[in-house]
Chains A and B, each alone.
Chain A
Amino acid sequence: MIGILQAKFKSFIRNPWTFVTFTGMSLIFALIFGGAGVDKAFIPVYSSDETIKDSYIGKQLVKQDAFQFSWMSEEQLLEKIEKGNAENGVILHEDDFEIIVGVDSFNTELVNEMISSVYQDKAERERIVELANQNNKDSDFILAKLDTALENPIFDVQTATFRGEGAFVYDNSLHRVFGFSLFFVIYTIAYNVLPILVEKKEGIWDRMILSPLKKWEMYIANLLYSFFMGYVQVLVIFLTFRYIIGVNFHGAFFETLLLLIPYVFAIVSLAILITALVKKVQQFNAVLPIVSVSMAMIGGAYWPIEIVESEALLALSKINPLTYGMEILTGSAVYGYSLPELLVPISILILMGVVLMGLGIHLMERRHI
């Protein structure tokens, strides 16, 4: 068994192009469509009061990282909204603000909440300064203390996302990274399972069957190898996005790496079933894109599954491993679900893996031998 793995890895080093291609494709597609880094909603800001830009409020708007505020003139702001370049615009005054709504999306409410809280903070700070002055205390000193206290709270308050409960959160760049990784890894895995078919036809398997090697060792070696290649591919993609491009996994990076395992396992099993069902490599090449693209479309790899409304497609998505793969990854990284909350999709994937693999190996044994 070790021998088979060694032979496979040696062949891989000599000929890594399938792997490199699909890894590269996932990276490129996720980059193009995710527009990683610039996915923050763009909000034009205007104020007739020049000083606001450099005041506390202006600084707080730059500091937060949910939206990208951009200062401009009132005409420019209105033009951006009219042309649909921005969903909302903001006009700031000394003590209150207006939101110009172009498209009423869930972002509008979030912008409103965010800016309100900045104004509230500002009002509070002003009151502190006022009180300090009345009592002849050093107001700057108190404010500095307040800031340090806010940054190092005594109570460790867990905040998942400021966007609040129940909101439909759509983290575009993370979604694309997950979607394209789970999609392209189907190819890498499938093309690593395919050699079983070729080796059977050419007689390499016959040679192994006649040798003291056991049948199960042959299957395990092939499946382990495919699993490993698939896993490494996603690992490379995630690492690239996390550490080179700097996509925020919301602190769940290592969890997502672990939670990938059931999905990769299910896809290895699916690949062996497809391999068992086709007779020729050409058939395999024809079937694979159909299966993988439809899985990606109804599984929410290209767009969030939440926007799919057709009953039939939703029903189909329930037997699609990719749906559960996305559910687990976004569940953990975007919604911050804990392991028990993800137990259902994880179990479904493992079950699918076991059933598909059993079926695949059974068919393979019956058909070709």
Chain B
Amino acid sequence: MIELVNLSKRFKQMYAVKNLNMFIEKGEIIGLLGPNGAGKSTAISMLSSLIEPTSGDVLYQNKSILKNPSAFRKIVGMVPQDIALYEDLTAEENLMFFGRIYQLSGKELSRKVDEVLEQIGLRDRKKDIVKKFSGGMKRRLNIGVAMLHDPELLIMDEPTVGIDPQSRSYILETVKRFNEERQMTVLYTSHYMEEVEFLCDRIYIMDKGNLIAAGTKDEIKQILSSENTISITVERLNDAFIEALEQHPMTNRVTIGEKEVTILVPRETKAFSEIIKLAESTKLDLVSVDNKTPTLEDVFLHLTGRALRD
């Protein structure tokens, strides 16, 4: 349905997005994962025709949207990263306003507004002024506004930032429901890997403007398939042990915590016995040695050497 071709955006000397290639098929939930400043917002602003790319193209049904975005804009619902609402108006008035600018009116408008209020669970609060809403309620309304014109493609820019766990899972469930009940295509941007892992069929991972991984959840985790993540918990860490680990030919990467060391080792190595030997020779008391199943967090760590959230 949509394809990004070598899309780049430069601000002054810095590339916010560099040579991004991406495609979205109808009915998918696509995750765009990356830490703050990765270029996610810039990428989706280009995708939705709000900013012009420095180079590259965005294709919708194999036609470029850069010259003539109007057909494409009709099918896009955009949930901005910030709360884009009139704070002095009520929830219902906000929906009415944004419905009207989509040329809805009369019965059709009020029916649609009621429907959206129901979906986002704000029907009881529709007469309340947005300013008085909790963070979670504002976020829900922020999403609701983008649903008024039944978009085929819903683009969500970090829609769960700064809200309580209940509101977050409510939003995630709602997005999943939209996708299942209406075959709505969703592009979901986040820096929470567990959200993306829960929702998405396919995932793109960005860092510093570059695409660093892409594929289905399993495909991405395959990146780690040649390695195991082993977590070692100890009584008291000593430098000799860490040095021994780092020197050992089996270890690819060592990450040090307070009482915990995480190492990446090739899959086939008999790591456990090696670790026990090293512990004995450096007089270290082991508490536990665990083999962890990889998460997207680990993938990010593997690819960039940094944690996703820092």
Q: How many A-B residue pairs have CB under 8 A?
A: 67
Query: How close is B111's CB to chain A, nearest CB, in angstroms?
Result: 18
Chain A residues lying within 8 Å of B146, measured Cβ to Cβ, are 207
B23 at the binding interface (Cβ < 8 Å): no
**CB within 8 Å of A: which of B85-123?**
85-86, 88-89, 93, 97-98, 100-103
Determine whether the beta carbon of A10 is less than 8 Å from that of B50: no
A315 at the binding interface (Cβ < 8 Å): no
Determine whether the beta carbon of A11 is less than 8 Å from that of B89: yes
Determine whether the beta carbon of B103 is less than 8 Å from that of A206: no
B156 at the binding interface (Cβ < 8 Å): no
Determine whether the beta carbon of A202 is less than 8 Å from that of B50: no
Bound Cα distance from A15 to B51, whole angstroms:
33
The 8 Å CB contact of A3, one of B49, B83, B100, is B100
Contacts A201-B82, A211-B149 known; 18 new A-B pairs at CB < 8 A: A4-B101, A7-B86, A10-B88, A11-B86, A11-B89, A14-B89, A203-B78, A203-B82, A203-B84, A206-B45, A207-B80, A207-B101, A208-B101, A209-B73, A211-B73, A211-B98, A212-B74, A369-B51
**CB within 8 Å of A: which of B34-86?**
45, 48-51, 73-74, 76, 78, 80-86
17 contacts between A and B (CB under 8 A): A3-B97, A7-B86, A7-B97, A10-B88, A202-B83, A202-B84, A203-B80, A203-B84, A206-B80, A206-B84, A207-B78, A207-B146, A210-B49, A210-B50, A211-B73, A213-B101, A369-B50
Bound Cα distance from A202 to B48, whole angstroms:
16
Chain A residues lying within 8 Å of B102, measured Cβ to Cβ, are 211-212
B145 at the binding interface (Cβ < 8 Å): yes
Bound Cα distance from A204 to B103, whole angstroms:
17
Chain B residues lying within 8 Å of A209, measured Cβ to Cβ, are 50, 73
Query: How close is B108's CB to chain A, nearest CB, in angstroms?
Result: 15
Query: How close is A224's CB to chain B, nearest CB, in angstroms?
Result: 16
**CB within 8 Å of B: which of A1-34?**
3-4, 6-7, 10-11, 14-15
B129 at the binding interface (Cβ < 8 Å): yes
Chain B residues lying within 8 Å of A6, measured Cβ to Cβ, are 97
Among A207, A213, A369: residue with most chain B CB under 10 A: A207
- A210 with B97: in contact, given A15-B88, A201-B82 (CB under 8 Å)? no
A interface majority secondary structure: helix
Query: How close is B156's CB to chain A, nearest CB, in angstroms?
Result: 12
Bound Cα distance from A204 to B82, whole angstroms:
9
Bound Cα distance from A216 to B145, whole angstroms:
22
Chain A residues lying within 8 Å of B103, measured Cβ to Cβ, are 212
Determine whether the beta carbon of B86 is less than 8 Å from that of A204: yes
Interface pairs A-B: 4 shortest CB-CB: A203-B80, A203-B84, A11-B88, A3-B100
Query: How close is A206's CB to chain B, nearest CB, in angstroms?
Result: 5
Determine whether the beta carbon of B93 is less than 8 Å from that of A203: no
Determine whether the beta carbon of A207 is less than 8 Å from that of B86: no
Query: How close is A4's CB to chain B, nearest CB, in angstroms?
Result: 8
Bound Cα distance from A199 to B100, whole angstroms:
18
Q: Scoring A residues 228 to 263 as 1 if CB is less than 8 Å from chain B, else 0, what string do you get?
A: 000000000000000000000000000000000000
- A14 with B101: in contact, given A202-B84, A210-B78 (CB under 8 Å)? no
Measured CB to CB, the nearest residue on chain B to A212 is: B103
Chain B residues lying within 8 Å of A207, measured Cβ to Cβ, are 78, 80, 84, 98, 101, 145-146
The 8 Å CB contact of B89, one of A7, A202, A203, A213, is A7
Bound Cα distance from A203 to B50, whole angstroms:
10
Chain A residues lying within 8 Å of B97, measured Cβ to Cβ, are 3, 6-7
- A210 with B76: in contact, given A7-B97, A14-B129, A203-B82 (CB under 8 Å)? yes
Bound Cα distance from A79 to B82, whole angstroms:
70
Measured CB to CB, the nearest residue on chain A to B41 is: A203
Chain B residues lying within 8 Å of A15, measured Cβ to Cβ, are 88
Determine whether the beta carbon of B86 is less than 8 Å from that of A206: no
Chain A residues lying within 8 Å of B81, measured Cβ to Cβ, are 203
Chain B residues lying within 8 Å of A211, measured Cβ to Cβ, are 73, 98, 101-102, 149
Determine whether the beta carbon of B78 is less than 8 Å from that of A206: yes
Chain B residues lying within 8 Å of A212, measured Cβ to Cβ, are 74, 101-103
